[in-house]
Amino acid sequence: MKKGNDNNFKTILIILFALAILTPLGLLTQNPAFGEWTQEEIKKMLGFVPEGLKKYAEVYKFDLFDDYSFKFISNQYIGYILSALIGIAVIFTIFFLLKHLMTERK
């Protein structure tokens, strides 16, 4: 039983890894998502950037992996795949820590 579960988990990890490699397919469309424009794009559309929008748009400044790219990697496809892998790693770490936090308290 236990062994079966482990194999199952391995299969899932392989699927996730394969999907991560395929994520650049998601970059093929150049269309921006509705309501996710940058300030420059809004300025082009309207001729001005609303006051409140300008005030709050940049409150969060961490941009190392801005928009699933890497500042120091110019190839956007590689940046996208690395972002996918980093995201997965962070997610597994969060739930691993959560598990230990919650089981220790018991």
Tell me which residues touch another protein (CB under 8 A): 5, 8-9, 11-12, 16, 19-20, 22-23, 25-29, 31-36, 39, 42, 45-46, 48, 50-60, 62-63, 65-68, 80, 83-84, 86-88, 90-92, 94-96, 98-99, 102
- Rounded to the nearest whole angstrom, what is the least distance from the CB of residue 47 to another protein in the complex? 11
CA distances in angstroms from 65 to 56, 59, 78, 96, 105, listed in the order given? 20, 16, 12, 23, 34
Rg (Cα) of the chain, in Å, rounded? 20
Residue 93 burial (C-beta neighbours within 10 Å; 0-12, 13-18, 19+): exposed
- Rounded to the nearest whole angstrom, what is the least distance from the CB of residue 32 to another protein in the complex? 6
Give the residue with the Cβ less far from another protein, 63 or 75. 63
